[in-house]
């Protein structure tokens, strides 16, 4: 039996807009292959604007205009047979959401309706998947579950704005975990939180992943967070995965120049030296660079990088790396 729970194959997607008679295509996910395992904490990192949120939306099966899939597929492997999310019917997708795959969007307020009390959000999202319970049994289950997340039952009778940011995030985690899904997808779940609450929330997610023995796919631009919780990481740059591997290998021997830059830029205790930031900014994905998308910023670029696209290969460090120099 496969140890995979979800895979993407040759995934390519763009935002396609027609504004003032002008067509614009933003090529935001460009040939992404991921194989995500059962029972792992999988991290996706990369600077803002590199396509992380879009990739997560696709992985969760959300693909609505202006986002369009041009090629490839996403398969959920937790059922009797693989379910291709872009070929699935609305009904099939509805059945697996929250029960098999839950998705914590960027900013917990996006999930929690600001004009509905928290208990209504639980009823809206989770109760349809737990119809074997009576309403009273369902409430009891929710209260017990929230207690596990150190939230009192009073939270259920509150509006989202009456809770602190950390509590709202724990409510969202509660919603996402109530049905014990095989996959929890979380987009920058701790970015808006202060450091102490951030640490608490991450500790909670790690504990939940161990208890449920399920898979968490965590996106954050903050590599220090990945260092603490992720078993494996994929580094994304301008819509492509440039390096993927075990967190320890990525941190010990980053093989891709972009990963090396991200790791060198991490603040270290007692380190007064000014960090050597890369020149320039990530490219405009409406007009991405030819060849290796990183070449305009890469200090090691050679002629070949301007015209040829490097494919992922196993580097000596044990990570899959898309760079000619790591081959
Ligand atoms: N609805 C949209 N329409 C057009 N372009 C979009 C839309 N959403 C995101 N983009 C563009 O896609 C790129 C990647 O965005 P995103 O997936 O949010 O990246 P990240 O999460 O890494 O910051 C950005 O250049 C952004 O401007
Ligand atoms: S392929 Fe070339 S431009 Fe791309 S990261 Fe490697 S050396 Fe740099
Ligand atoms: Mg994002």
pLDDT tens-digit map of 87-109:
999 999 999 999 999 999 887 66
Tell how far the Cα of 135 is from the centroid of ligand 3, in angstroms: 36
Q: Residue 292: CB within 6 Å of ligand 2?
A: yes
CA distance 13 to 301: 27
Q: Among residues of the chain, what percentage have pLDDT more than 90?
A: 81
HEC letters along the chain: CCCEEEEEEEEEEEEEEEECCEEEEEEEEEEEEEEEECCCEEEEECCCCCCHHHHHHHHCCCCCCCEEEEEEEEEECCCCCCEECCCCCHHHHHHHECCCEEEECCCHHHCCCCCCCHHHHHHHHCHHHCCCCCHHHHHHHHHHHHHHCCCCHHHHHCCHHHCCHHHHHHHHHHHHHCCCCCEEEEECCCCCCCHHHHHHHHHHHHHHHHHHCCEEEEECCCHHHHHHHCCEEEEEECCEEEEEEEHHHHHHCCCCHHHHHHHHCCCCCCCCCCCCCCCCCCCCCCCCCCCCCCCCCCCCCCHHHHHCCCCCEECCCCCEECCHHHC
pLDDT for 327 beyond 80: no
pLDDT tens-digit map of 65-77:
999 999 999 999 9
In this prediction, residue 108 carries a pLDDT of 62
pLDDT tens-digit map of 275-314:
656 778 899 999 999 999 999 999 999 999 999 999 999 9
In this prediction, residue 271 carries a pLDDT of 66
CA distance 307 to 53: 28
pLDDT tens-digit map of 52-65:
999 999 999 999 99
Q: Among residues of the chain, what percentage have pLDDT more than 70?
A: 96
Q: Residue 305: CB within 6 Å of ligand 2?
A: yes
Tell how far the Cα of 188 is from the centroid of ligand 1, in angstroms: 14
Ligand 2: nearest atom to the Cα of 304: 2
In this prediction, residue 19 carries a pLDDT of 85
- Residues 178/145, Cβ–Cβ less than 8 Å: yes
Give, using CA atoms, the residue closest to atom 9 of ligand 1.
54
Ligand 1: nearest atom to the Cα of 46: 22
Q: Which residue has the higher pLDDT, 192 or 40?
A: 40
Q: Residue 26: CB within 6 Å of ligand 1?
A: yes
| Residue ranges with CB less than 5 Å from ion ligand 3 | 53
User: Furthest-apart CA pair in the chain: how many Å?
Assistant: 68
pLDDT tens-digit map of 237-258:
999 999 999 999 999 999 999 9
Give, using CA atoms, the residue closest to atom 27 of ligand 1.
49
Q: Residue 122: CB within 6 Å of ligand 2?
A: no
Q: Residue 288: CB within 6 Å of ligand 1?
A: no
Tell how far the Cα of 132 is from the centroid of ligand 3, in angstroms: 36
- 20 pLDDT tier (thresholds 50, 70, 90): confident
pLDDT tens-digit map of 120-160:
999 999 999 999 999 999 999 999 999 988 899 999 999 99
> Which has the closest alpha carbon to 74: 135, 13, 159, 139?
13
Tell how far the Cα of 238 is from the centroid of ligand 3, in angstroms: 13
CATH for the stretch 4-230: 3.40.50.300
pLDDT for 1 beyond 80: no
> Which has the closest alpha carbon to 126: 111, 115, 114?
111
CA distance 222 to 229: 12
- 274 pLDDT tier (thresholds 50, 70, 90): low
Q: Residue 49: CB within 6 Å of ligand 1?
A: yes
Q: Residue 185: CB within 6 Å of ligand 1?
A: no
- For residue 99, how many other CB atoms are within 10 A of its CB? 18
Q: Residue 295: CB within 6 Å of ligand 2?
A: yes
């Amino acid at each position: 039996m496969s140890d995979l729970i979800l895979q993407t194959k040759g995934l390519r997607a763009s935002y396609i807009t027609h504004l003032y008679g002008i067509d614009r295509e933003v090529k935001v996910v460009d040939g992404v292959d991921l194989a995500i395992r059962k029972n792992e904490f999988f991290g996706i990192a990369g600077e803002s604007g590199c396509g992380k949120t879009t990739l997560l939306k696709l992985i969760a099966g959300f693909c609505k205009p202006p986002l369009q899939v041009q090629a490839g597929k996403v398969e959920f492997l937790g059922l009797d047979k693989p379910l291709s999310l872009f070929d699935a019917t609305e009904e099939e997708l509805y059945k697996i959401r929250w029960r098999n795959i839950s998705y914590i969007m960027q900013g917990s307020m996006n999930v929690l309706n600001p004009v509905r009390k928290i208990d209504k959000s639980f009823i809206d999202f989770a109760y349809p998947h737990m119809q074997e319970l009576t309403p009273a049994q369902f409430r009891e289950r929710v209260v017990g579950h929230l207690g596990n997340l150190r939230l009192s039952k009073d939270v259920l009778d509150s509006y989202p704005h009456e809770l602190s940011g950390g509590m709202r995030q724990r409510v969202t985690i509660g919603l996402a975990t109530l049905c014990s899904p095989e996959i929890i997808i979380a987009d920058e779940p701790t970015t808006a939180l202060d450091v102490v609450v951030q640490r608490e929330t991450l500790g909670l997610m790690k504990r939940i992943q161990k208890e449920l023995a399920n898979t968490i796919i965590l996106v954050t631009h903050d590599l220090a967070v990945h260092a603490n919780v992720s078993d494996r990481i994929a580094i994304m740059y301008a819509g492509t995965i440039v390096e993927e591997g075990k967190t320890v290998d990525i941190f010990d021997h980053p093989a891709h120049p972009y990963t090396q830059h991200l790791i060198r830029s991490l603040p270290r205790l007692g380190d007064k030296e000014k960090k050597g930031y890369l020149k320039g900014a990530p490219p405009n994905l409406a007009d991405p660079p030819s060849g290796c998308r990183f070449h305009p910023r890469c200090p090691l670029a050679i002629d070949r990088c301007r015209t040829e696209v490097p494919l992922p290969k196993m580097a000596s460090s044990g990570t899959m790396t898309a760079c000619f120099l790591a081959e």
